[in-house]
Amino acid sequence: MIGVLRMQQTCKRKVWTQISIALMAALWMVNAQAELLIKVTEGRVDAVPIAVVPFDGAQNAPEDVSEIIQADLHRSGQFKPLPAEDMLSRPRNEQEMIYRDFKVLGTEYVITGSMKRQETGGYEVSYALFDVARQKKLMSETYRPPESQLRDVAHAISDRIYEQLTGIPGAFSTKILYVTHNRHDSNPYQLQYADADGHRVTTILRSKEPIMSPTWSPDGRKIAYVSFEDQGRPAIYIHSLATTEREKVSSFSGINGAPDWSPDGQKLALTLSRDGNPEIYMLNLSTKGLTRLTNNYGIDTEPRWLPDGEHLVFTSSRSGGPQIYKLNINDKSVRRVSFQGAYNARSDVTPDGRYLVYVHRRNGNFNVGVQDLQRGTFNIVTRTDMDESPSVAPNGSMVIYGTQHGGTGVLEAVSIDGRVKVELPSKEGEVREPAWSPFL
Amino acid sequence: MRSLLNPLFAIVLAAALAACSSTPTEDDSSATDNMSQQTDTSPVTPVEPSEPVKPDTSSIPLTADNFYNHPSNYDGTTDSRVIYFAFDSNTVPAAAFETLRAHATYLKNNANAKIRLEGHADERGTREYNVALSERRSKAVEKFLRVQGVASSQLEIVSYGEEKPAAFGHGEMDWAKNRRVEINYLSGRP
């Protein structure tokens, strides 16, 4: 039986520039789907106290931009927002700013702003960021988005503030791609994506058969995944998010799995067992030429490109249990990278190439571990069990992964240093295999 | 075939399992090392098809690993369509030999019959690695059938890893039920 597929959602992409910031355009969700609710379970002890004063005019707007900014900053774990009810004054702009009202509360930064409905339909959103200790305005900007893009503007402002205060680009405007499973649904397997804060869920594919290993193209316009929709047999598809056009790029006999895009977007690394054993191959997407990269009697799978485009890391059982290896694509030489414990698999790498994150088994528990390739250190950064599919944010700050709460698959995120933890429980069904988008 | 498990036996088993309830966490290196070595260096060598001998089931230890592989779970005919595997193992269980020989005989006598061997793993470990592990189970069954003389054109392998569990719980018993190869007749079903 062929899995029933339904492309839902046309997703329109417009580039809208204001103050040199390009924003991804609106992805309209008409029917309310299960959104991911986000809860910060562990923040940094030294999180920076910040006050996001409720924006003037936000109460009557369809989206409260100040509330979204506050939630973004809180979710990063780097900031500790001051509850609005604790504020001694609520300035709307620089003129109304009374620094000592925030200084006495220990607040280091203050964000003020306003939302004004425009005659033309959209909104004018202004904000300003203040440094309390130096009693100085650090930045201020104005955006004029249509109503449908208020959330995009809120995330863009969060990105700007985060970068101004930490020196690292914010990743609040990014998206998370994931697989859901609800066995009581007529199409139990679904591929969806949502904003990084769990809002605005879009369903890309529904199927009666499993969907696995979703991954983004480097430009964020396409995704690749494994779907068993064709009579239960696995195939790798490339799916354009804007047009919903799909192309089946790999359907060999045996395993077609674990796709991962090269940094230049020209090639796909993947696992095939067409020659009798799971091996890593490289598929040139324009010529469709296939190059076999590994040749070993063990299992070779789960390839991930390193940022240099010349190397891959992958999981191999060539020395017994699964371990992480690094492969040079040019000379096909292979070097073992992971040495702690007997089970290390499914690695991802930070954008700077410095850290590897992967699933590590210890005392029968599966956790996410971070290996510093420069210093050689290895740390387990989660305390749950059954953790899988870690995926690094494009700014390298957080890792999102699948785990189980009370037997149900949920997503969690943890900072690379393990100090910040965020839960993203879904309201219904299982959520798994998250893939964090590149900067969009 | 599930009904073949007599209720009293099930109760005794359940009790025995409860007694050893603290989930035995596998000794990592030994388990996995063992596994891939078996895979790679000592291919499955099924017993020569002589006259079938009913195994003595009385002395088989009661663990989750062999609960589903208890000989009473296989009826030795083509009606049995699921082969269960021990943890981290792709060794075809002896309890399933007779059943697999029945399938082999049927396939040899019915050239139009085609089967798909659908390999599955339990939920522990990463998904794509589990797909690869489950393929090894299907291949072990395939090899068994090939040795019995089944034509390769009658066999197909699909590997689902942990994506299509038969049991949805998260304990030893559910895992044992999920480590399996399902024999799916695509055509010429007996």
CA distance B82 to B93: 11
User: What is the per-residue pLDDT across A119-135, written as a single tens digit (0 to 9) for each?
Assistant: 988 999 999 999 999 99
B98 touching A, CB under 8 A?
no
B40 → closest Cβ in A297, A302, A361:
A297
State whether residue B62 sits within 8 Å of chain A by CB: no
- Widest CA span of chain B, in angstroms? 48
Strand arrangement, sheet containing A202-207: A202-207, A189-195, A175-181, A430-436
A278 and B124 within 8 Å at the Cβ level: the answer is no
Residues 6+ apart with CB under 8 A from A332: A293, A294
Contacts of B153 (CB under 8 A, 6+ apart): B114
Tell me which amino acid residue A107 is: T
Tell me the percentage of chain B whose pLDDT exceeds 70. 65
Quick one: pLDDT at residue B61? Answer: 55
Cβ contact A440:A175 at 8 Å: yes
Q: CA–CA separation, A153 vs A159, rounded Å?
A: 10
Q: Please, is A400 exposed, middle or buried when counting C-beta atoms within 10 Å of its C-beta (0-12, 13-18, 19+)? A: buried
Closest residue of A to B39, CA-based? A298
> What residues pair up with A127 in beta bridges, in sequence order?
A113, A141
For chain A, what is the total number of helices (H) and then of strands (E)?
3, 32
Average pLDDT, whole number, for chain B?
78
pLDDT at residue A36 in the model? 55
Q: How many CB atoms lie within 10 A of CB B188?
A: 14
Nearest to A320 among B26, B33, B129 (CB): B33
Q: Does A213 touch chain B (CB under 8 A)?
A: yes
Of B118, B123, B129, the CB nearest to A315: B129
Query: Can you tell me the ipTM of this complex?
Result: 0.90
CA distance B175 to B123: 7
Helices (H) and strands (E) in chain B, counts: 6, 4
> B182-185 contacts: CB < 8 A, separation 24 or more?
B182/B81, B182/B82, B182/B117, B182/B118, B182/B120, B183/B81, B183/B82, B183/B83, B183/B103, B183/B115, B183/B116, B183/B117, B183/B118, B183/B141, B184/B81, B184/B115, B184/B116, B184/B117, B184/B118, B185/B113, B185/B114, B185/B115
> Under an 8 A CB cutoff, do A315 and B116 touch?
no
The pLDDT value given to residue B59: 60
Contact status of B123 with chain A (Cβ, < 8 Å): yes
Low-confidence ranges of chain A (pLDDT < 70): 1-37, 426-428
> Is the Cβ–Cβ distance between A389 and A434 less than 8 Å?
yes
**Burial environment of residue A335 by CB neighbours within 10 A (0 to 12, 13 to 18, 19 or more):** exposed
For the beta sheet containing A211-216, the strands, ordered from the edge strand earlier in sequence to the opposite edge, are: A211-216, A222-230, A233-240, A246-250
The DSSP letter of residue A3 is P
In terms of Cβ atoms closer than 10 Å to its own Cβ (0-12, 13-18, 19+), residue B154 is: buried
Phi, psi torsion values for B96, nearest 5 degrees: -95, -5
Domains of chain B: 2-21+60-187 (3.30.1330.60)
Contact between B32 and A315 using a beta-carbon 8 Å cutoff:
no
Residue B182 touches partner A, C-beta closer than 8 Å: no
In DSSP notation, A152-199 reads HHHHHHHHHHHHHHHSS---TT-EEEEEEE-TTSSS-EEEEEEETTS-
According to DSSP, residue A329 is labeled: T
Q: Please tell me the distance in Å from A271's CA to the nearest CA on chain B.
A: 9
Residues in chain A: 440
Relative to beta strand A136-143, strand A256-261 is unpaired
Domains within chain A, CATH numbers bracketed = 25-166 (3.40.50.10070), 175-436 (2.120.10.30)
- What six digits make up the tokens of A308? 């240099």
pLDDT value at residue A28: 30
Question: Which among B132, B164, B169 has the least Cβ separation from residue A299?
Answer: B132
Q: Residues 29 to 58 of B: which have CB under 8 A from any A CB? A: 29, 31-33, 36-37, 40
Distance (Å) from the alpha carbon of B139 to chain A's nearest alpha carbon: 9
Of B144, B64, B160, the C-alpha closest to B99 is B144
**Residue B171 at interface with chain A, using a CB cutoff of 8 Å:** no
Which of residues 257 through 316 in chain A touch B, CB cutoff 8 A? Answer: 257-258, 271, 273, 278, 297-299, 301-302, 315
Q: Are A65 and A58 contacting, i.e. CB atoms less than 8 angstroms apart? A: yes
Closest CA to B90 of B49, B128, B44, B46: B44
Instruction: Tell me whether residues A322 and B129 touch, CB distance under 8 A.
Output: yes
pLDDT of residue B53: 53
**How far apart, in whole angstroms, are the C-alpha atoms of residue A339 and residue A333?**
18
Q: What is the pTM of this model?
A: 0.85
**Kind and range of the H or E element at A109?**
strand A109-117
Contact A232 B118 (CB under 8 A): yes
Please check whether residue A347 touches B, CB under 8 A. no
pLDDT of residue B63: 67
Could you say which DSSP state residue A396 is in? S
Q: pLDDT digit string (tens) for B129-187?
A: 999 999 999 999 999 999 999 999 999 999 999 999 999 999 999 999 999 999 999 99
Per the structure block, which two tokens stand in for A289?
A: 């030429």
Pairing of strands A290-292, A300-305: unpaired
- Would an 8 Å CB–CB cutoff place B132 in contact with chain A? yes
